A and B are shown apart, each in its own frame.
Chain A
């Protein structure tokens, strides 16, 4: 029998009833008396100076109550305090198609939308920068004047161990270029916020956000009212995946419009706008050099990354470091050099998406490992097992490793699929591939420098035995409320259904830094456990006295407090709680969590990478490649994940399967593509996330290593499981057709190209991918022409339809929207 009464049991999520019956209240479900509806005007230019904005005609439009522009909120803001380069609405420059320029609140959403076309914006178009290569070179066009070199946002160089000696002692060298295409989160709920500024000068903002605390800080800065008068409530997020972890234009615009009108204001983005809000996966070009001995043991590795950051910083400084930091935590690497460059381009800003900055290099690295195994004639699974970084060790870049379950994960997926028996033995067109990976259980440092805890929780017990846990975490569908209830229930000896969870509210709950970097289980879990255990001690102590049992023999489980040596001897949880309240007063306790010191290096840049515990995972993918049509079918993905201990196994499995689904989507077809800076497919019809008919058979295996520092031994489960899936599929495609795909996504068109079958006259290739940085295209003004053409065509169409002669870029910037369903009228 388990030593636990709640942890590890297959219980339903505490909020599943609301989610399954459609009664969960998302931000857009909120309706307040006298509420106004707001819409944002967005830039039709990829890069332009804003000469002037005339809102007078819009203000006169029937139904319009207030209009705000960038000049009303000129304060710089951004998620990372050191790189704040955004304003809530564009002030004098727009830097991507879709950047918010003005906001309108009206009595109906239609009125607000119509009035957008009446705002006159005088733009002076500038040449846009659209590729990494152009951004690196073009000194003459600066997207941000502050950039020291061309359009470089951040450049980092780190070196550990003796790289030259490492490469010199290698028996075998590899030097590979990779390109990982950008993609977006595609959360089902679009961003939404409702702001209500009351007569007493207090602002409440309900918003679909992962980071209520950071948003709270930025609202104070931008709106110019003290934080004491602002309350942020993170509503349940209908999926987020990193896409709701920046402060956004619509949140500030709704707030300011509410302050101006003294009425509640709702602003919900439509799907097209979500593609512009973005902050998704960076496109990353990579060069990876590796040196190994005859047996495959690494002697050195050198990784160079070039990140296409889009128009603003977002988390970019962290993303840049993350492309290099975690490469060392899976396999032994004695010498390692990392050079990272993130550039600005005139596209929607990139930011964190599930696996933040580690997904792209992990894919590249695991493809290189597979190539080395192939070069040396080694079994890819056995090879990985042979070079594992040991548990309780330090990496060459100073990262502390504690529990390390990658070996068990590799074994588990190998057993489940018969990998080593099957690999390289399947018929042409069928393939099997494997990969390993790792992720963090929360970043070791907060986003703004401070010495306070990363997470705080308060637990309170009422006289009827009800328990409430208060914690600033944001429930984004990942199960953080479930985790809080599970940890509280286990510690106090009640059931999760007895626990009320109050989360994501900056007024009611102590600060938690937010639902990003897979930090919640480890950090909020530990804070909650500390709080709950304080109350548990009080209950056990009064019960021990009443029952005349030594307190160390007392325990609590399943709503009873009892003698573990003689379980019949005990009392109900309610009785114990009432005794404790009589003795100690109100039953309430706080707990907090701060990651330990000394878990990373002490060099500049050492702040990104350390975590209290790494999670590990491995995946095997089985694929079929249609040799005639080039269509890649992924038949099965088996993922094993070391989450320390599964507090809620059903939820962990859900995260593993969801991650595999998302990884499959990223390699099979999702891509952010632009024409002259204009997003080519800002709709879920054309941006192809997989449907249930595409999704492979997914299998999840939980591996438990019981981390000594985690809550009940738990580590993260939300992001890591995505990372091995992408390289496992790429490696399986190589097994199937002998072609290395060193770029994503793997589309049918590219497969046919590789097979030499496109046009029926090609020559077969053994790899598809970049072979260096490209020569920047010498076509000054070309992008502007292409964009101008699309924009003009759209505006002509709009004026034809509406009869309204639009100002330049008067309505949404959207390109030709996706054709409607091929169904009917």
Chain B
């Protein structure tokens, strides 16, 4: 198997353009598992883990996180998103967090990808580049199914971008143990007080990352009354109602990790707790 170690993004885009068999590898925490299990046999690899341009975080205007940023990096610098830090903390083990990148999560597009509900709730934009130029895809349009997305074979994910949303945000995940675990259900809640916007996104509860529109509107109504900027807790009833609305947005299945009924139930609990937690943050 030929391995091309890319120097920069242009080098990488050219390499994938000329060799149709080429697949990209960054941290390898997904791809190598597939290779080791014999589920994929790439004809060639283009390694992008040494491309500096992909490894930066910038906050001039919009927040931009390079696709090659690892979860360990995000623990040190969360790019202003507490939810992203919390999600990064829940990925795998320290070894996996040292190697795994946010771009890999975006590329694999597993409904259980820990960073993805956060990107969805932040309404992030995915930036991809190829020899044909650069494209910007809203996250809502990115995933098309389980482990399927809008990336063309020769495109490289270079970054995710979003408007900074302030401190009121959180990520929650339920697994069958506390580390080294794939989410049974996860949830990201972002309350962007300055834009009067609520973002709720669910992981492991459907074929793609799901949004809970009715729950978002309901929470916005609650915050209109409470005051968006204040650090005041909603009533228990409001939190419970929010939880029920979130759960109703899920399309869970029974699988080896948990039942659909359990997923729906814990979503409602997580959502209620998330709203209560986020509302008092400032």
Q: A residues near B, CB below 8 A?
A: 628-631, 669, 673, 680-681, 685-686, 688, 690-694, 747-749, 752, 757-760, 797-798, 801-802, 811, 814, 817-825
| A817 to B35 alpha-carbon distance, docked (Å) | 12
| A798 to B96 alpha-carbon distance, docked (Å) | 27
Is the Cβ of B103 less than 8 Å from the Cβ of A825? yes
Chain B residues, CB < 8 A from A693: 177-179
Is B131 engaged at the interface, CB distance under 8 Å to the other chain? Answer: no
Complex partner residue of A824 from B27, B34, B270, CB under 8 angstroms = B27
Is the Cβ of B38 less than 8 Å from the Cβ of A811? yes
Task: Return 23 A-B CB contacts under 8 Å, by A number.
Answer: A628-B269, A685-B180, A686-B256, A688-B177, A688-B181, A691-B179, A691-B180, A748-B262, A749-B262, A817-B33, A817-B37, A819-B110, A819-B182, A820-B33, A821-B29, A822-B92, A822-B105, A822-B182, A822-B183, A824-B26, A824-B103, A824-B108, A825-B29
Q: Which residue of A lies closest to B269 (CB)?
A: A628
Write out, one digit per residue, whether chain B residues 27-42 have a CB within 8 A of any chain A CB (1) or not (0): 1111101100111110
Is B266 engaged at the interface, CB distance under 8 Å to the other chain? Answer: yes
Chain A residues, CB < 8 A from B178: 691, 693-694
| A822 to B186 alpha-carbon distance, docked (Å) | 12
Is the Cβ of A823 less than 8 Å from the Cβ of B104? yes
Contact A759/B265 with A686-B257, A801-B41 known, Cβ cut-off 8 Å: yes
Is the Cβ of B177 less than 8 Å from the Cβ of A824? no
| A686 to B256 alpha-carbon distance, docked (Å) | 8
Is the Cβ of A820 less than 8 Å from the Cβ of B265? no
Is B126 engaged at the interface, CB distance under 8 Å to the other chain? Answer: no
| A823 to B34 alpha-carbon distance, docked (Å) | 13
| A373 to B99 alpha-carbon distance, docked (Å) | 53
Q: Which residue of B lies closest to A798 (CB)?
A: B38
Is the Cβ of B177 less than 8 Å from the Cβ of A669? yes
Contact A758/B24 with A688-B181, A811-B38 known, Cβ cut-off 8 Å: no
| A824 to B75 alpha-carbon distance, docked (Å) | 16
Write out, one digit per residue, whether chain B residues 90-118 have a CB within 8 A of any chain A CB (1) or not (0): 01110011011111110110101110000
Is the Cβ of A825 less than 8 Å from the Cβ of B261? no
| A825 to B25 alpha-carbon distance, docked (Å) | 6
Is the Cβ of A824 less than 8 Å from the Cβ of B179? no
Q: Which residue of B lies closest to A684 (CB)?
A: B180
Is the Cβ of B265 less than 8 Å from the Cβ of A760? yes
Q: Which residue of A lies closest to B31 (CB)?
A: A825
| A752 to B37 alpha-carbon distance, docked (Å) | 35
Q: What's the minimum C-beta distance from A687 to chain B, rounded to whole angstroms?
A: 10
Q: B residues near A, CB below 8 A?
A: 24-31, 33-34, 37-41, 71, 91-93, 96-97, 99-105, 107-108, 110, 112-114, 174, 176-183, 256-259, 261-262, 264-266, 268-270, 273
| A629 to B104 alpha-carbon distance, docked (Å) | 30
Chain A contact residues, majority secondary structure: loop
Chain A residues, CB < 8 A from B37: 814, 817
Is the Cβ of B92 less than 8 Å from the Cβ of A823? yes
Chain A residues, CB < 8 A from B270: 629
Chain B residues, CB < 8 A from A823: 27, 29-30, 71, 91-92, 96-97, 99-101, 104-105, 114
Is the Cβ of A749 less than 8 Å from the Cβ of B97? no
- Known pairs A749-B262, A820-B30. 12 more at Cβ < 8 A? A628-B273, A680-B256, A747-B176, A748-B174, A748-B262, A752-B262, A757-B265, A759-B261, A821-B29, A824-B100, A824-B108, A825-B103
| A824 to B105 alpha-carbon distance, docked (Å) | 4
Chain A residues, CB < 8 A from B27: 823-825
Q: What's the minimum C-beta distance from A786 to chain B, rounded to whole angstroms?
A: 14
| A593 to B240 alpha-carbon distance, docked (Å) | 68
Is the Cβ of A822 less than 8 Å from the Cβ of B38? no
Q: What's the minimum C-beta distance from B219 to chain A, rounded to whole angstroms?
A: 19
Chain A residues, CB < 8 A from B99: 823
Is the Cβ of A824 less than 8 Å from the Cβ of B30? yes
Chain A residues, CB < 8 A from B93: 691
Q: Which residue of A lies closest to B24 (CB)?
A: A825
| A757 to B261 alpha-carbon distance, docked (Å) | 10
Is the Cβ of A825 less than 8 Å from the Cβ of B110? no
Is the Cβ of B91 less than 8 Å from the Cβ of A822? yes
Q: Which residue of B lies closest to A680 (CB)?
A: B256
| A798 to B182 alpha-carbon distance, docked (Å) | 24
Chain A residues, CB < 8 A from B256: 673, 680-681, 686
| A365 to B34 alpha-carbon distance, docked (Å) | 45
Chain B residues, CB < 8 A from A757: 265
| A385 to B265 alpha-carbon distance, docked (Å) | 42
Chain B residues, CB < 8 A from A681: 256
Chain B residues, CB < 8 A from A748: 174, 176, 262, 266
| A693 to B38 alpha-carbon distance, docked (Å) | 31
| A752 to B262 alpha-carbon distance, docked (Å) | 8
Complex partner residue of B30 from A628, A669, A692, A821, CB under 8 angstroms = A821
Q: Which residue of A lies closest to B34 (CB)?
A: A820
Q: Which residue of A lies closest to B101 (CB)?
A: A824
Question: What are the 8 A-B residue pairs with the smallest beta carbon separation, nearest first?
Answer: A824-B104, A823-B100, A820-B33, A825-B104, A693-B178, A824-B100, A823-B29, A691-B179
Chain A residues, CB < 8 A from B91: 821-823
Chain B residues, CB < 8 A from A669: 176-177
Is the Cβ of B39 less than 8 Å from the Cβ of A819? no
Chain A residues, CB < 8 A from B29: 820-821, 823-825
Is the Cβ of A802 less than 8 Å from the Cβ of B41? yes
Q: What's the minimum C-beta distance from B182 to chain A, rounded to whole angstroms?
A: 5
Is the Cβ of A749 less than 8 Å from the Cβ of B259? yes
Is the Cβ of B177 less than 8 Å from the Cβ of A694? yes
Is the Cβ of A752 less than 8 Å from the Cβ of B182? no
Chain A residues, CB < 8 A from B108: 820, 824-825
Q: What's the minimum C-beta distance from B92 to chain A, rounded to whole angstroms?
A: 4
Complex partner residue of B107 from A628, A820, A825, CB under 8 angstroms = A825
Contact A692/B179 with A823-B30, A824-B103, A825-B24 known, Cβ cut-off 8 Å: yes
